[in-house]
Amino acid sequence: MTDPETHKKNESSELPVLQAENLLADKSPTHEEITLFGTKQTEASVFAPGTILDTKYRVISLIGKGGMGAVYKVEQIFLKKEFALKTFGGNFNENQARRFQTEAKATSKLDHPNIVRVSDFGVIDFSTPYFVMELVEGISLEEHLKKNGPLSYEEIFTVFIPLCMGLQDAHEEGIVHRDVKPSNIMLVGKPGQWQPKLLDFGIAKLIDEKTALTQTGEIVGSPLYMSPEQCSAGKVDRRSDIYSLGCTMFEAITGGPPFPGASAIETIGMHLNQEPQTLKEATMGQEFPADLERIVHTMLAKNPDQRFTSARQVAGNLIRLKQGAQLMISAHDKKLFEQNRSGPTLANYILGTIALIATGFAIYFWILLQDESRVTKVPELASTVEGFRGDRSSIIAEKGLYGMEEPPALELDTSKPFCTSVKEEKGKTIRVFNFPKKSIGLLQNRDSELTYEAKGHVEIPWRGPMVFKPTKDVVSTYPGLFDKFKDDEIASILFERETECQYDALMHLRSYKFLEELSFEDSDFNDAGIKYLDPLPHLRSLSVVTTDVTANGLAKYKGLKKLRKLSIGQMPKMANLLNALQGGDLDSLKIRFCVMSEKEYEKLAKLPKLARIEIDSPEMGPDAFNGLCHSKALEWIDLQHCFLRAETYPALAKMQNLKTLILTGHKFSAADRKFIVDSLPNCRVVFR
């Protein structure tokens, strides 16, 4: 373990573009002495609350600021929606201006649940560039590690598998983050059940051989987490992000980064020349699975060619490790692992030393990294989106859900239903609702995207039972809320991102005549709640993705065979669940981050009505299709972010009953596309 203050001294949030050949230095600088060659950055001015920016954003509050700019909580005045807006101050040179435009356009294309979305960008008063992000409330991985120490073994998978999938999505759009580190990872939600989000693609690079905006000789990154090729101003690609993620994972597991030098230059020298400690060595003897050691060490290989080739591959191996399956690391990789443990060669030292000297000159003139790392902290951390699941108030535990004093803002009167009257207008039936003054969620028509906020007086043209999306935590605080809806008004309830699923609330749903769907996605719903589903006779669709429900627990649900649609995730040992589903009505199944054997896929194929499968997983091998090809009912497969190796294609070709195959998130060569299409002549193949 090393001193966290030493770690922080090496940290920086943004490294300006520097041409190493133009820089000179006569001594090793401390971080406090580092300046930028050629220009003195001007600290950004602060916009006061109420200021209108670019005619459409009203400043609510300052979240934090540093030498390179500031982050504000703002309201989009036309949409009445809150965002985070990041401005960039100082004197932008041509390279920086070009980079900003490129990054903003590139990152605005990203749409992944584990990446903070960029929704807008522009320039304020022709001088201050900005971009707008979704507003995230949570804690950074950096802050969590400082307060709580290393992640638990289970938390490693919870955090890093989704992060890998987010990175993979960015890489497939041609974007390299270039600054993956704990402070750029937000943990949204309840500890242990986080939704991790990667933020601040502020120094991201659009991979483009023709434009090559980040050329050799330009250094971008943060010393503690920079890859050797970044340290030596070499060519950077997606494997650099894998290295940086490896540094971050190492710190999350051990409590400290792999190379904690006393200065930036010393740290860079260690990245270039020194092999990392094992996890056991870094924790003074704590034991870790050998496969976890191999995964981290492969990510931290000095030579990019010896790392995993994609973030998807990292995710796949983490999933396999979690589920006790064999890693997807070749014998060649194993040999490289053993070679790397023996230390770098003399040639490595010579080349590394040369690169270190050149890099040292550039680092000497580096400014404002420390300013950015000293961004003002505020209690409501939101450098970035919706869905925060904070800890429950202790008052609930003390008084119980029914004994609580209701906040005046909600004003729930349990004696009156929400629907107070029904009227006819122009041949249409209108239901009149009077909800509390504080919103309790959204109501949506099942057959359209039309939504209504459940707040105050609302008149809804009635088309039948609706989808209800409760506001965060309102149900766990007021389980009797459901008694105020009539028994024919709700068909679907999405409890997504609920901090604590109060099972008492489910008891209030028994009288609902048309309740067919429940989703507990991204909540702490667990096996203890399964029995509360038994009294719901009409339930036909259930989602327990990103919950604590196990396969064995779900197998005990009495209504399992009546389900027509089921969504599950991260469930090892699925044999009992698959047996329990046999002979049932299931026709649609979504599987996320599950590693299954050929025998388990064969059991899936035996489900008599299973026509549609959506699989979101880093990789699918021949076993999957060798098992699924026995299905007589399966007609539609959607593979989300699944990498298919060439040896998988012959097994895929056995799926002759398929009518639709959708391949999303992976770029296939023209030859591969042709082979797949030709192999399935009766199937509509869609590449996205």
The residues annotated with a catalytic role in the active site are 179
What is the DSSP secondary-structure string of 635-685? Answer: -EEEEES-EE-GGGHHHHTT-TT-SEEEEES-PPPHHHHHHHHHH-TTSEE
639: which strand partners?
615, 663
Q: How many CB atoms lie within 10 A of CB 2?
A: 12
d(Cα 170, Cα 167) in Å, to the nearest integer?
A: 5
Give Cα separations from 324 to 287, 319, 412, 550 (angstroms): 17, 9, 49, 15
* Structure token pair of residue 220: 């971008």
Q: What dihedral angle (degrees, nearest 10) is formed by the CA atoms of 212, 216, 218, 219?
A: 110
CB-based contacts of 581: which residues, under 8 Å, 6+ apart? Answer: 560, 561, 566, 607
* Structure token pair of residue 675: 């082979």
* Structure token pair of residue 644: 């298919």
* Structure token pair of residue 568: 């599950």
d(Cα 372, Cα 89) in Å, to the nearest integer?
A: 12
- Which residue is listed with tokens 């008492």? 504
- Which residue is listed with tokens 């989704």? 162
541: which strand partners?
517, 565
Question: 622, 686, 631: which is closest to 657 by C-alpha?
Answer: 631
d(Cα 511, Cα 501) in Å, to the nearest integer?
A: 20
Outline where DSSP puts E strands in 89-137: 118-124, 128-134
Main-chain dihedrals φ then ψ at residue 289, nearest 5 degrees: -55, 140
122: which strand partners?
130
Question: 197, 55, 196: which is closest to 124 by C-alpha?
Answer: 55
Output the CA angle 609-611-614, nearest 5 degrees. 130
